[in-house]
């Protein structure tokens, strides 16, 4: 290292002494190794028989998970190239919600295949072009194979929801959960888009997973503000007020300067009068329940209770929004502006016990555009992992409803792609042909890993799978439970098309980006940064390195 730095002295005058430069083959090898290491770290979790990881952070808190993106986020990765692979899983999570492990594993395998070709003196640019061409072709092939699903095909939607939960903590109750997920996503769907954030998840420790349920409405993590208020209100007109039922502070401050006791009494009466008017306004417009974003004065609480109004204070703005969607009401921030038209409606608003906590349930609404999944499980770690499985599942049902296209799972699409891309490679010719072939080989990492993780012989499984695809069985995939190659669609193992196309796209982009880098200039020491005692400097150093790398990609291309 020292020698390299001395050699590079002249052109490096612009860099500070702590900077470190790695170029050419060394840079490529370093980045490829880092990228592959990331993929390797999640490989064993892939598929229905994948194992879980236990992650312990510096504070000692523990996460047990099978979810690719969660593992990578929890791991404290700070190599810049490794981070590019982590980003693949993050993009996958944002775009489709599932397939995060697959995307990373494919990216790692692309790097592995690329390494061999680089060793044979195939230029990185040729590789990049070949990979990109193969990825384009792969998307076309997948599009052709896609199976159409209509939005009212409940059975297929449930299968998709269920496939996304396979191998996660939710396994034992996945049929029940899959139905809840489908109902939830359909309930919150708008005409033009579906925001799964409108499906809230309430985790309850205690009970078993299959006692989980869907509340078509909102659960607010609050209690009624005064115990003289009703526990429950039927056929409730619901007011949503994002303000305070209090008299403004400045007016109270004025009291301090009051010397005459009569004057003080006058002030207090005035204050009471104002609060009374605020409550009267709510009564006048016909509110039976009021959710208030800020505080409610004690005196106002008393008046509200007298009027039989159920009031909740300090409701979060997210809750107010959800309540508005669910009840058809409108959140108003100025009490005088609140009108009867702004009120929402719910057949039932009630304070109930859930897992030992009192919450306000707002249900029996006309069209619940916001719903709550109550997840139960034996322990906190179990419920947390079920929640992650549910998040994936919500994502795939959403994607399917939006796109209407699915593919069989169990490695079927990857096996078919490998076959067809090898044919395609012949038409490419030149050295890029080798890159396309390598791309085809790389995709087979999915069925191979599914087999390995299921304790099967990966070679036997692949040979079997290839033969069936050669014979024209597009949907032939690996049954991870029996080891047989079966028709995955018939088995009900289906996934959204976009899970596969997005994974291929991001994996290719990340691999290509890493391959094109031939120079890494870091503002600090890249290799030893993990052992540094000064924790504060590490993220900054990492970020600096990343910024440098972004620019490097372009430079590599220019050479």
Question: Which residues are tagged catalytic?
Answer: 67, 100-101, 392
List 98, 183, 216, 444, residue binding ligand ADP (CB under 6 A): 98
Find the binding residues for ligand ADP in span 33-52 (CB under 6 A). Answer: 45-48, 50
Sheet strands (E) in 82-196: 147-148
- Please, which residue, 395 or 545, has the CB nearer to ligand ADP? 395
CA–CA separation, 318 and 157 (whole Å): 28
- Asked if 130 interacts with ligand ADP (CB under 6 A), we say no
CB 362 within 8 A of CB 323: yes
Nearest to 28, CA basis, from 97, 112, 105 = 112
- Distance (Å) of CA 381 to CA 81, 377, 385, 386: 31, 9, 6, 9
- Asked if 229 interacts with ligand ADP (CB under 6 A), we say no
List 329, 410, 458, 542, residue binding ligand ADP (CB under 6 A): 410
Sheet strands (E) in 254-317: 289-292, 310-312
Q: Which residue is nearest to Mg ion (CB)?
A: 98
CA–CA separation, 494 and 2 (whole Å): 54
- Asked if 113 interacts with ligand ADP (CB under 6 A), we say no
- Asked if 80 interacts with ligand ADP (CB under 6 A), we say no
- Asked if 495 interacts with ligand ADP (CB under 6 A), we say yes
User: Could you tell me the smallest distance in angstroms from the CB atom of residue 167 to ligand ADP?
Assistant: 5
- Please, which residue, 47 or 556, has the CB nearer to ligand ADP? 47
Strand-by-strand arrangement of the 147-148 sheet: 147-148, 405-408, 494-496
| Residues contacting 122, CB < 8 A, separation 6+ | 431, 434, 435
Q: From ligand ADP, Mg ion, none, which one binds at residue 85 (CB under 5 to 8 Å depending on kind)?
A: none
- Asked if 346 interacts with ligand ADP (CB under 6 A), we say no
CA–CA separation, 168 and 164 (whole Å): 9
- Please, which residue, 166 or 461, has the CB nearer to ligand ADP? 166
CB 170 within 8 A of CB 376: no
Helices (H), 332-404: 380-403
User: Could you tell me the smallest distance in angstroms from the CB atom of residue 474 to Mg ion?
Assistant: 21
Find the binding residues for Mg ion in span 93-112 (CB under 5 A). Answer: 98
User: Could you tell me the smallest distance in angstroms from the CB atom of residue 54 to ligand ADP?
Assistant: 16
- What number of residues does the chain have? 559
- Asked if 363 interacts with Mg ion (CB under 5 A), we say no
User: Could you tell me the smallest distance in angstroms from the CB atom of residue 496 to ligand ADP?
Assistant: 11
Using CB under 6 A as the criterion, which residues of the chain lie in contact with ligand ADP when the complex forms? 45-48, 50, 68, 98-102, 163, 166-167, 409-411, 446, 450, 478-480, 493, 495
Using CB under 5 A as the criterion, which residues of the chain lie in contact with Mg ion when the complex forms? 98
């Amino acid at each position: 290292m020292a020698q390299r730095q001395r050699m590079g002295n002249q052109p490096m005058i612009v860099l500070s002494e702590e900077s470190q430069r790695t170029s050419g083959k060394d840079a490529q090898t370093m980045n490829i190794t880092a990228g592959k290491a990331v993929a390797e770290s999640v490989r064993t979790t892939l598929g229905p028989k994948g194992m879980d990881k236990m992650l312990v952070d510096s504070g000692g808190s523990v996460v047990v998970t099978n979810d690719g993106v969660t593992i990578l986020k929890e791991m404290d990765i700070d190599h810049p190239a490794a981070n590019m692979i982590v980003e693949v899983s993050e993009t996958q999570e944002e775009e489709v919600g599932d397939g995060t492990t697959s995307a990373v594993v494919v990216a790692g395998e692309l790097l592995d295949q690329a390494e061999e070709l680089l060793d044979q003196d195939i230029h990185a640019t040729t590789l990049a072009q070949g990979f990109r061409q193969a990825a384009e072709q792969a998307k076309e092939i997948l599009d052709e194979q896609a199976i159409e699903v209509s939005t009212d095909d409940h059975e297929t939607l449930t299968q998709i929801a269920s496939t996304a939960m396979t191998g996660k903590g939710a396994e034992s109750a996945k049929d029940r959960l899959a139905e809840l997920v489908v109902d939830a996503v359909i309930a919150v769907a708008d005409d033009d888009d579906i925001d799964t954030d409108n499906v809230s998840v309430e985790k309850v420790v205690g009970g078993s997973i299959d006692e989980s349920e869907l509340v078509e409405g909102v659960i607010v993590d609050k209690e009624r503000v005064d115990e003289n208020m009703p526990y429950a209100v039927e056929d409730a007109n619901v007011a949503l007020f994002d303000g305070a039922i209090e008299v403004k502070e400045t007016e109270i401050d004025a009291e301090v300067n009051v010397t005459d006791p009569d004057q003080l009494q006058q002030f207090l009466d005035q204050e009471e009068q104002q609060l009374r008017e605020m409550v009267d306004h709510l009564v006048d417009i016909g509110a039976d329940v009021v959710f208030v974003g800020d505080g409610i004065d004690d005196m106002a609480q008393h008046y509200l209770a007298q009027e039989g109004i159920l009031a909740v204070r300090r409701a979060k703005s997210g809750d107010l929004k959800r309540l508005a969607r669910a009840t058809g009401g409108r959140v108003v921030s100025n009490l005088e502006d609140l009108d009867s038209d702004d009120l929402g409606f719910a057949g039932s608003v009630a304070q109930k016990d859930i897992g030992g906590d009192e919450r306000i349930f707002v249900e029996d609404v006309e069209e619940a555009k916001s719903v709550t999944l109550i997840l139960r499980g034996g322990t906190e770690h179990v419920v947390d992992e079920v929640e992650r499985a549910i998040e994936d599942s919500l994502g795939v049902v959403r994607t399917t409803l939006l796109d209407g296209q699915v593919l069989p799972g169990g490695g079927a699409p990857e096996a078919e792609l490998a076959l067809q891309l090898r044919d395609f490679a012949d038409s490419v010719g030149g050295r890029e042909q080798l890159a396309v072939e390598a791309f085809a080989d790389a995709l087979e990492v999915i069925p191979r890993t599914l087999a390995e993780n299921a304790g099967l012989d990966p070679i036997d499984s692949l040979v079997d799978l290839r033969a069936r695809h050669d014979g024209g069985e597009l949907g032939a995939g690996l049954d991870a439970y029996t080891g047989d190659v079966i028709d995955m669609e018939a088995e009900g193992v289906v996934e959204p098309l976009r899970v596969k196309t997005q994974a291929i796209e991001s994996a290719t982009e990340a691999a290509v980006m890493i391959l094109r880098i031939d120079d890494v200039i870091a503002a600090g020491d890249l290799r030893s940064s993990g052992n540094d005692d000064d924790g504060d400097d590490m993220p900054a150093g990492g970020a600096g390195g990343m910024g440098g790398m972004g620019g490097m990609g372009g430079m590599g291309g220019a050479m």
